[in-house]
Amino acid sequence: MLHKHYGDAYRVIGFGFEGGSFLANTNENGKTVMHTYTAVHYPGTLEDQLKDKNRGLLGINIGKNRGHELVDKKQMINNFGAEYNMVSAGKKNFYKEHLRLSASFDYLFVIKEMHTPTQIRLKTGE
């Protein structure tokens, strides 16, 4: 819908990561609860293939790299959403997705190690 509305001005930005932790919601006894989870490092994913080139944050302009095998060939990438599914957590391909970067993103950023956000509390009046 966004591409239809914005046309060529619309850009899709993807984010990947090698490891670290993330926040996600899970359903516990009918209530949504947020927890911190450890990101699993999967050998063979795109993030794993780029680990020696990544010094902390690696950006890829997909359009300028069309024709390159990593962009045009289907790749397995880490794929986490906002909800953590306990049933799926035990499956072999838990939160991985097989896709072609050139068909999915305009830009991709790979973070070496992500961390959960830290809430900053300001004093009253600041």
CATH number assigned to the domain comprising residue 82: 3.40.1660.10
Number of structural domains (the chain) is: 1
Residue 9 near residue 102 (C-beta atoms within 8 A) = no
Name the pTM for this structure.
0.76
Residue 104 near residue 76 (C-beta atoms within 8 A) = no
Q: Collapsing DSSP states into helix, strand and coil, what is residue 53? A: coil
Residue 46: inside a domain, yes or no? yes
pLDDT tens per residue, the chain (126 residues)? 888 999 989 999 998 888 888 887 888 888 988 888 887 778 889 999 999 999 999 999 999 999 999 999 999 888 765 556 666 666 666 677 889 999 999 999 999 988 887 767 777 765
The domain containing residue 97 runs over which residues? 2-114
